Chains A and B, each alone.
Chain A
Amino acid sequence: EVQLEQSGAEIKKPGESLKISCKGSGDRLITEWIAWVRQRPGKGLEWMGTIYLGDSDTSYNPAFQGQVSISADKSITTAYLQWRSLRASDSAMYYCARRRKLGSVFDYWGQGTQVTVSS
């Protein structure tokens, strides 16, 4: 079974940088894809991008391209989501999820990382 453990809640000011993490454990996780999903307060789910832990091959939702960076460290089976300059509109819950090969579904989810950006 796969388990995804995300880093803790963050409170930041506009313009600050941030990197949150998603550490995976379980069988052969290094051969898996990890996705990031944003959920703004009271809103729906938005796919941000997906990274292959094995070689860091990354696919972005065009709406998030250039706004965030997704990276990974396969030696510790961890995926990251990074901002260089946060905005208030980045305030949201961020989930990571394992994208299963069969059907490309997100079958295991992290617990979420709450990011609050406020002056």
Chain B
Amino acid sequence: EVVLTQSPGTLSLSPGERATLSCRASQSITNTYLAWYQQKPGQAPRLLIYGTYNRASGIPDRFSGSESGTDFTLTISRLEPEDFAVYYCHQYGRTFGQGTKVEIK
């Protein structure tokens, strides 16, 4: 089973700053099957990115995804107040990463 390792565990940033979240797969995976979700307290997760690069419906373009080998990255270009949340990567409808919390500095 593929293991996804996210880093850092917590990212402390200010609104307007750039956030870079990492997700490393334990083995090669098809980028078609890598997704990112956002979860806010008391809410269900929300799909942000699918197929490594593609924004889900209604997701602002400050969110983007990229890859380099088995390393996948979610970038938030300029943090808005509503972006402070926990982010999870996910592969092939199965394994989740352990999550990265983006908190206000």
List A residues at the B interface (Cβ < 8 Å): 33, 35, 37, 44-47, 50, 61-62, 95, 97, 99-100, 102-107, 109-112
Complex contact B94–A106 (CB within 8 A): no
Number of residue pairs A-B, CB distance < 8 angstroms? 60
Are B45 and A95 touching (Cβ within 8 A)?
A: yes
State whether B51 touches A102 (Cβ < 8 A).
Answer: yes
CB-defined contacts of B33 to chain A, threshold 8 Å? 103-104
A44 contacts B47, C-beta separation under 8 Å: no
How many of B's residues come within 8 Å of A, CB to CB? 23
Q: Report B-chain residues with C-beta under 8 Å of the C-beta of A105.
A: 35, 47, 50, 90, 93
- Of residues 20 through 59 on chain B, the ones whose CB sits less than 8 Å from some CB of chain A are 32-33, 35, 37, 39, 44-47, 50-51, 56
Partner-contacting stretch, out of B11-19, B74-82, B95-103? B95-103
- CB pair B46–A109 under 8 Å, yes or no, is yes
Q: Which of these, A33, A61, A107, A110, contacts B47 with CB under 8 Å?
A: A107
